[in-house]
Amino acid sequence: MTENKTFDELQVGESAELRRLITQDDLIVFANVSGNHNPMHLFDLDDDGVEEAIAPGMYVGAVVTAVLGNLLPGAGTLYRSQHFEFCAHVHAGDELLATVTVAAKNDRDGTVTLDTVVRRVADDLLVLTGQAVVEAPRRKLSYEADELPGLVVQRHRHFDALLARAEPLPALRTAVVCPQEANALAGALLARRHTLIEPILVGDAAAIRATAEEIGAQLDDIEIVDIADHRAAARTAVELVNAGRAQALMKGHLHTDDLLHPALDKQAGLRGERRFTHVFVMDVPGLDHPLLVTDAAINIAPDLKTKVDILQNAIDLGRAIGIEEPKAGVLSAVETVNPEIPSSVDAALLSKMAERGQITGGLVDGPLAMDNAVDMAAARVKGLTSPVAGRAEILVVPGLDAGNMLAKQLTYISHAEGAGVVMGARVPIILNSRSDDDMSRLASCAVAALHHAWTTGDDA
C-alpha cells in the first residue's frame, strides 16, 4: 500500500528516491506514447553502426515525475512548473536513481518547491538537475501500487539478431521441395534475397513457374528440378544432399510425412547418429531470450532414449544460435518426482544423466512445471534454486500433443514468432507451416544456416 504526503505533513529537507532500469522496450513504448520517433532513441533504427538507444531527455524527466506522483508528495500531486538541466546522456541498460527533495513550502497557495536530481547508478554520473513546483495534496490518499495493467511490446528482436548473425554466412545451398504455392515459393525467394539460402527448386516446374508469375518473381537464375510427384521430389532432394549439391532441405507445399519419409530411409536417407527431432525456436514478446520448444512435430510419445536425443539436439541447436550454455527445463505437470506421472520420472532421469555427462553442452533440470521453468517468482515460491528453474531457454515437453499446444499458444495468444527445424539428420531440415509469415520463414532459414556453420565450421 502506497500513501501520499499531504501539504501539512511535508517538511523542508525531506526527500524520496526511486530506481529505474532503462530497457529497450521502455523506449519503444515512450516513442509510441510521445510520438517522438527519433531513431537515436531506438537502437535498431539508429544507423550509426552502434547498437545503442539514447534515452530521450523527457523519458529521464518522467522518472522524476514518478517520484513526485508516487512517493513525494505522492497521489494527488499536480504540476505547476518544472525546470530541467540535462547534464549527460544515458542509454538502454543504464539504471537511474531519481531523487526529489523538498526545498520550500508556500502556505499562501499550497505549492511546494522540490529540487530534482537524476544520477546513473553504476558510476554516480549526474544526468539531470532541476526544480519542480507542484500543488501538494491536501487530502490523505492510499492505493495499491500494482493496480495498472502491464504492457508487452510486440516486436521480435531475437529473430532480428538471428538474421544479423546468419546473413554474413555463405548462403546455404538448399533443396526446396515442392514450392508450387505462393507462400512456400515467396519464403524461399525472400530467404535468398537475405543471402540465407541459395535455393534449388525441386517440384512441378510448370506449377512453380506459374506461381512465380502469380507473385511477380523471376526464376531465370535459379535451378529447377522438374518432378511432379511429391514423394519423388522429396527423394530427389535427398539425393541432391547425398551428392553434395545441397546442404539443407526446406519444406514447400507438401505433407511433412512425404518430406521426411525419404530422409528417414535407412539406406539412402539422411539419418545421423540421433533420432530426427523437431525444435521450435520461439521469439516471445517480453522474454529476454529465445525460447526453444521440443519436440512438437515428429515424436508423438517419446520414450526416455528418444528424449535423450530430443534434449541433446535442442542443446546443440541452442549453442549454434548463440546461447553459450543453454538451460533446459524438462517439463511435467509437477516439479517433484511422482511415480504416477511418467514424465516426472523421465525428467529426473534426464537431469541426472546430464549431471553424469551423458547429455552435454547445457544445464538440465527437471521435473519442472511450466510456471517455475520460466518464471523466477514461481520458482522461488516453490523453493527451487537451480540455475535452470525460472530461467529455462529450452523447454522439453512430455509428448507431441503438449509441445504442439504450447508452441501454438505462444504463437496465437502470446504473439510469438516460431522458426521450425528438424534436427538429427545429417543436414538441417527447414520445416515451415503453410500459415507461417515471412519472419518465421526467414528465421527458420537463419537457424538452419547458423547450425550448419556451427557443425561444419563453415563461417567464412
Q: Which CATH class is domain 274-424?
A: alpha beta
Bridging pattern class, strands 248-251 and 429-430: parallel
Helix, strand, coil share (%) of the chain residues, nearest 5: 35, 25, 40
Which backbone phi and psi does 94 adopt, to 5 degrees? -80, 145
For residue 327, count other CB atoms closer than 10 A to its CB. 22
- According to the model, what pLDDT value does residue 45 have? 47
Place of cell 538541466: 85
pTM of this prediction exceeds 0.85:
no
Summarize pLDDT for 422-438 with one digit per residue, the tens.
999 999 999 987 677 78
Which amino acid is it at 413? I
The CA-atom distances, in angstroms, between 417 and each of 53, 293, 357, 394, 440 are 24, 12, 33, 16, 6
Grid cell at residue 403: 509441445
How many CA atoms, within 13 angstroms, populate the side-chain half-sphere of residue 428? 29
Q: What is the DSSP string of 345-394?
A: HHHHHHHHHHHTTSS-SSEEEEEE-HHHHH-HHHHHHTT--SSSTTT-SE
pLDDT (0 to 100) of residue 429: 96
Q: Are 278 and 453 in contact (CB under 8 A)?
A: no
Q: What pLDDT sits at residue 419?
A: 93
Domain boundaries, given as residue ranges, for the chain: 2-143, 274-424
Nearest-CA neighbor of 152 among 25, 37, 32? 25
How far apart (Å, rounded) are the C-alpha atoms in residues 337 and 349? 10
Question: Angle 304-320/438-456 helices, nearest 10 degrees?
Answer: 90
pLDDT at 459: 58
The tens place of each residue's pLDDT in the chain, 460 residues long, gives 788 999 999 999 999 999 998 888 888 889 999 999 888 887 654 444 455 689 999 999 999 999 999 999 999 999 999 999 999 999 988 999 999 999 999 999 999 999 999 999 999 999 999 999 999 999 998 877 666 666 666 667 889 889 999 999 999 999 999 999 998 999 999 999 999 999 999 999 999 999 999 999 999 899 999 999 999 999 999 999 999 999 999 999 999 999 999 999 999 999 999 999 999 999 998 788 999 999 999 999 999 999 999 999 999 999 999 999 999 999 999 999 999 999 999 999 999 999 999 999 999 998 999 999 998 888 888 999 899 999 999 999 999 999 999 999 999 998 898 999 999 999 999 998 767 778 888 999 999 999 999 998 865 4
CA pair distance 235, 265, nearest whole angstrom: 10
Q: What was the pLDDT predicted at 376?
A: 85
The whole-angstrom separation of Cα 180 and Cα 438 is 17
CATH homologous superfamily for the domain 2-143: Hotdog Thioesterase (3.10.129.10)
pLDDT of 51 reads 53
DSSP single-letter state for residue 425: B
Nearest by Cα to 102 from 93, 111, 113, 94: 113
Distance, in Å, from the CA atom of 265 to the CA atom of 175, rounded to the nearest integer, reads 17
Q: Are 110 and 136 in contact (CB under 8 A)?
A: yes
Contact in structure between 144 and 114 (CB atoms under 8 Å): no
